């Protein structure tokens, strides 16, 4: 009679035929957040104090968003609070510190999106609202609309308890000097040169409830004309969030982000093509967009936060409940 294999030898053989058991997946963080202060950064040889100032601002915004999420706050509340803080920071092109348009004033754009039900709101070309991101959230929650612009957005703000300021409140001497330099370079020309086309702030987050949200705010382009509006208030271009896939905030050449529907495209590649977040983001940012067009930050439903950009740098930071904490300005070798 043929002898049977011992059980100790048989079990490994059966396991090898069935395939090795899958490794246990890394648990999803309870919360995750990524923020940005715009693509295109100060030069690497800029005075150390400039870089340190930006890092401190990013750190403060990251700490605020992390604290809200850690104590059980919603992703929507976190991204709004972070963007409000950055709108008040003159280092960034949003709110206080927004660039000047061709007539010497400021027109501000913002959008916000809730991944739980795809509700969203946006405003463009607002002039007297201290925190455009909060007005965008009011559009989402208090109206049946998505995007309000110009005088209509201002009239809507009259009906809401949002802080108002004179347009000159957004002035900073640094931005005024940039505007005057731009006017000297090319009076009346398109404001599309690389040095003048960047500047946005944004945040994306996953909360303890498993919900995603995204928010973006900007002052637009230096010396912009004719009521130009970029991608920041355009849902699907500058901002997108869907609990099934990811939340995205964009920064860069707004016209290109609109043309390729960058934020929505990343989500669609995940939903319909089965790609992971980083693969989808790189395919769009590095494949569809041209070099130096800008970048994105994103977080997926598993709490994985990424950034992808084709510029020399992007002000950015990330944190999660697993202990991640990163603050960057230039490339990954930083």
Residue 256 contacts residue 263 (beta carbons within 8 Å): no
Q: Can you give the pLDDT at residue 160? A: 98
What is the pTM assigned to this prediction? 0.89
- What DSSP string runs through 142-194? HSS-SEEEHHHHHHHHHTS---B--GGGG--HHHHHHHHHHHHH-TT--S-SG
**Close Cβ partners of 192 (under 8 Å, ≥ 6 residues apart):** 221, 253, 255
* Residue 10 falls inside a structural domain: no
Q: How far apart are CA 26 and CA 302, in angstroms?
A: 10
* Residue 9 falls inside a structural domain: no
* Residue 99 falls inside a structural domain: yes
* Residue 16 falls inside a structural domain: no
Q: Can you give the pLDDT at residue 21? A: 45
Q: Can you give the pLDDT at residue 16? A: 43
* Residue 205 falls inside a structural domain: yes
Of 310, 308, 256, 303, nearest to 280 (Cα)?
308
Q: Can you give the pLDDT at residue 303? A: 98
* Residue 20 falls inside a structural domain: no
> Is residue 200 annotated as part of the catalytic site, yes or no?
yes
Q: Can you give the pLDDT at residue 1? A: 41
Of 250, 248, 244, nearest to 232 (Cα)?
250
Q: Please tell me which residue in 200, 216, 218, 253 is annotated as part of the active site.
A: 200
Structural domain harbouring 164: 27-328
Could you tell me the end-to-end alpha-carbon distance of the chain, in angstroms, rounded to an integer?
69
Q: Can you give the pLDDT at residue 15? A: 42
Q: Can you give the pLDDT at residue 254? A: 96
Residue 241 contacts residue 119 (beta carbons within 8 Å): no
Q: How far apart are CA 112 and CA 133, in angstroms?
A: 7
Core vs surface per residue 197-213: b (16+ CB within 10 A) or e: bbbbbbbbbbbbebbbb
State how far Cα 313 lies from the chain centre: 15
Of 38, 230, 220, 212, nearest to 113 (Cα)?
212
* CATH code, 186: 3.60.20.30
* Residue 167 falls inside a structural domain: yes
* Residue 15 falls inside a structural domain: no
Q: How far apart are CA 159 and CA 168, in angstroms?
A: 22
Q: How many domains would you assign to the chain?
A: 1
Residue 250 contacts residue 202 (beta carbons within 8 Å): yes
Tens-level pLDDT at each residue, the chain (334 residues): 444 444 444 444 444 444 444 444 678 999 999 999 999 888 888 888 999 999 999 999 999 999 999 999 999 999 999 999 999 999 999 999 999 999 999 999 999 999 999 999 999 999 999 999 999 999 999 999 999 999 999 999 999 999 999 999 999 999 998 888 888 876 644 444 444 456 899 999 999 999 999 999 999 999 999 999 999 999 999 999 999 999 999 999 999 999 999 999 999 999 999 999 999 999 999 999 999 999 999 999 999 999 999 999 999 999 999 999 999 999 865 5
Of 50, 91, 93, 328, nearest to 199 (Cα)?
93
- How far is the CA of 113 from the CAs of 43, 80, 121, in angstroms? 33, 10, 7
Q: Can you give the pLDDT at residue 115? A: 98
């Amino acid at each position: 009679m043929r002898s049977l294999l011992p059980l100790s030898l048989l079990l490994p053989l059966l396991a090898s035929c069935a395939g090795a058991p899958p490794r246990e997946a890394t648990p999803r963080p309870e919360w995750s957040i990524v923020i940005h202060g715009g693509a295109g950064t100060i030069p690497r040889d800029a005075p150390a104090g400039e870089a340190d100032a930006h890092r401190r601002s990013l750190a403060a915004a990251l700490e605020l968003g992390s604290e809200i999420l850690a104590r059980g706050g919603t992703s929507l509340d976190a991204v709004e609070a972070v963007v409000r803080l950055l709108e008040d920071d003159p280092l960034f092109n949003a709110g206080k510190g927004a660039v000047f348009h061709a007539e010497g004033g400021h027109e501000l754009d913002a959008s916000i999106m809730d991944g739980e039900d795809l509700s969203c709101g946006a405003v463009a070309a607002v002039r007297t609202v201290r925190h455009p991101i909060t007005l965008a959230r009011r559009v989402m929650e208090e109206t049946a609309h998505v995007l309000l612009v110009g005088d209509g957005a201002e009239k809507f703000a009259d009906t809401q308890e949002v802080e108002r300021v004179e347009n000159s409140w957004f002035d900073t001497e640094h931005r005024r000097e940039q505007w005057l330099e731009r006017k000297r370079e090319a009076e009346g020309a398109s404001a599309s040169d690389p040095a003048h086309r960047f500047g946005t702030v944004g945040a994306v987050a996953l909360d303890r409830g498993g919900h995603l949200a995204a928010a973006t705010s900007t002052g637009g382009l230096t010396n912009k004309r004719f009521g130009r509006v970029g991608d920041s208030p355009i849902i699907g271009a500058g901002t997108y969030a869907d609990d099934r896939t990811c939340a995205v905030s964009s920064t860069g050449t707004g016209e290109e982000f609109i043309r390729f529907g960058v934020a929505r495209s990343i989500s669609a590649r995940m939903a319909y093509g089965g790609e992971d977040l980083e693969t989808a983001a790189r395919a769009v940012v590095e494949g569809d967009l041209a070099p130096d067009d800008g970048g994105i930050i994103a977080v997926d439903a598993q709490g994985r936060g990424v950034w992808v950009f084709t510029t020399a740098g992007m002000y950015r930071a990330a944190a999660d409940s697993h202990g991640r904490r990163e603050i960057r300005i230039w490339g990954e070798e930083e």
